[in-house]
Structures are given as C-alpha cells and as structure tokens.
Amino acid sequence: MKTEDGADDPVLFSTEGHTGVITLNRPRALNALTHPMVLRIAEALTSWEQDPAVVHVLVRGAGERGLCAGGDIRAIHDDAKAGGDASEAFWRDEYRLNARIARYPKPYVALMDGIVMGGGVGLSAHGGVRVVTERSRVAMPETGIGFVPDVGGTHLLARAPGELGTHLALTGAAVGAADALLCGLADHFVPAARLPELTAALAVAPAHEVTASFAGPPAPGELAGRRDWIDRCYAADTVEEIVERLSAEGDPAAKEAAGTILSKSPTSLKVTLAAVRRARGLGSLERVLEQEFRVSCHALRAPDLVEGVRAQVVDKDREPRWSPSALAEVTDADVERFFAPLGETRELRLP
C-alpha cells in the first residue's frame, strides 16, 4: 500500500476473520516508530474496540528482521539539537498508547519476532498475549544513547524477578526467548516458522486458546544460571557499588557486565537506577509512565542524548563523549533534576 506521495505506508491495517491486524511497515528502518504511526495505531484500536466483528488485535512487523527497533531516534536527535518540542509531543501520545494497550478490553497479541527494542517493547510487552520466537532479541538499550528506559520499560523491568530488570536496564542487554519469558516480558514461545499458521488460526479461534496450543519450550536462556550474582550485585545502592561488586565476581559474564555498564552514559545510568527503583513504589503503569515522561523531557535538554545518538546512529564512530564523563561526577542533585515537575501544563496525566 502506498501513501499519497507514493511512499510505502508506514503502518498497515487489515482484518483477517476475527483479527484486527496492525503491521508496522518500515522494514528498512527496522519498523522504527514515528509520531504519525502512533496516532494511526491509536485510531485503529478505537475503531476495533467498538467493532463486534473484531475479537482480538494482532501487532506484527514487516520484513524478517524484527517487530520494531524503537522510536525514530534520529528524529529525536534532530529535535533535541534544535531545541524543539516535537519529541515531547511524540512521547505524550506514545505513552498514552502504551497505557491503552495495557488496558485494552480485547486480547492484544504481539508477535515479538526478531528485534524488539525501546518503543517496540512499549508496543508489545504491555499486551495481554506476547509471543517470542527463537529469533527474538528484546532490549531496552537506552543507557547507550544517553537516554533512560521509557514506554513503560521501567515498570516492566521493576517487576522482573530479583534484580534481573536492573541488570537489563543498566547494561541494555538484549535477551532471547527464554530470558524474555523469565523476566516477564513475554508469555509464549512459538517457532518463527509457525507464525503464519498461528496468525491464520487466530482468524477463527480465541487468542488465548490459539497461542497456548502453538506454544512450546524455548531453548535454554542465560539469566537463570546467573541469578545468584545478578541479585547480589545489583542490589547495591549505587551504580558505582554495582560495578565494584560485578568486577569482584568470579564469573566472566559479571566482569563483562561491569565493562558494559562503564561504556554507557554515567548520567543515564544513575537516572535509570533511580527510575527503576522508584517505579517499584509507584505501582501502576500509568504512574510510572507519568514519571518517565518527566525524565524523558528533561533528558531531551541534557547533553548526553544528542551525543549518544550522534555516536551510535549519526556519525557511527561509537565513541560518545559523555558529560559528565565519570560516574563519580554525577551528583544526587544532577539525578534529581530529571524527576523535577514539568509544570502543570506540560505534565502527562493518565487516568
């Protein structure tokens, strides 16, 4: 399907039997999410909610590489660099959509095949029926671009067993099917080759019955065998102490995690740790999204987001110059500024 200017439509909508189907259709951009896509998805959900012929909703990604690699961070980089407010408007509608997905009255089935990161997690992991495959790579990698997990990511990670969520939040590590299930980011494993068959079955039968009938055990993951040192190390009060504990562990994977953390934005790391810890006490997804909106808006005006995207996406030199450059230079006051109120007219308010 083409838009009026001849470009491929970035998101496609169809009905297949009982299923309302959303297909993210930017495969060359790994189905990165834009503001217009968010608005159109919200409109479709409204329409299908009132349509008795649509029994459940399915979201999937076009192409073979993944569901969605996240928001269009190059656009966010350009907006931040120009001092604009387009990203704030995007996040406001995106976070509303995340909350809507979590409360959607009909089964919302997400095919989390391939790469599912950032905004892709927000579009899928709040759904009621979340399917991963042997190709799934699920991550919230924001600390590597000078940002903080959002789209309800801190809510999801805060609810993961033990300190697994803290580990994923700080390192930005991508997990496969078994570990996504362990962390509560997915519900069922289905081989990728069977997804077309699963989709066809959904057209005529209830979502929960269909997915359960297709589901099976995934290949073993990595995190279950690392729970001991993950829970022990990441329970520390500060990022500095977490890194010290990881470095002192005998498992090479722990030392590798320490090195990975030290490559991320020091400010993002400290704000992320605070955000995940605070999310545990906020309870509902809505309250966490409101906190994330504050943090995201403040991050838009901080130097590390522009620098992180420049290094990873724009120039691709992979050598970000963080400011401050060391964990010890990031003060408690620096962290607290990310959680400061935005003012009554700018705050995100979710019912």
Active-site residues, by number, are 71, 119, 142, 150
> d(Cα 301, Cα 50) in Å, to the nearest integer?
40
Token code pair at residue 258: 């320490």
- 349: Cα within 13 Å, side-chain hemisphere: 6
> d(Cα 54, Cα 106) in Å, to the nearest integer?
9
Number of alpha helices (DSSP H) and beta strands (DSSP E) in the chain = 16, 9
> d(Cα 256, Cα 233) in Å, to the nearest integer?
13
* SS3 of the chain: helix, strand, coil, percent, to 5: 50, 15, 35
Cβ-contact 22, 59 below 8 angstroms? yes
Cβ-contact 92, 343 below 8 angstroms? no
Distances 201 to 105, 225, 351 between C-alpha atoms, Å: 21, 36, 35
324: preceding bond cis by omega (within 30 degrees): yes
Backbone dihedral region of 327: left (phi > 0), alpha (psi from -120 to 50 degrees) or beta?
Answer: alpha
Largest CA distance in the chain: 59
Token code pair at residue 280: 């545990």
Q: What is the DSSP letter of 204?
A: T
Q: What is the DSSP letter of 292?
A: H
SS3 71: strand
Distant-in-sequence, close-in-space partners of 173: CB < 8 Å, separation ≥ 6? 139, 167, 257, 260
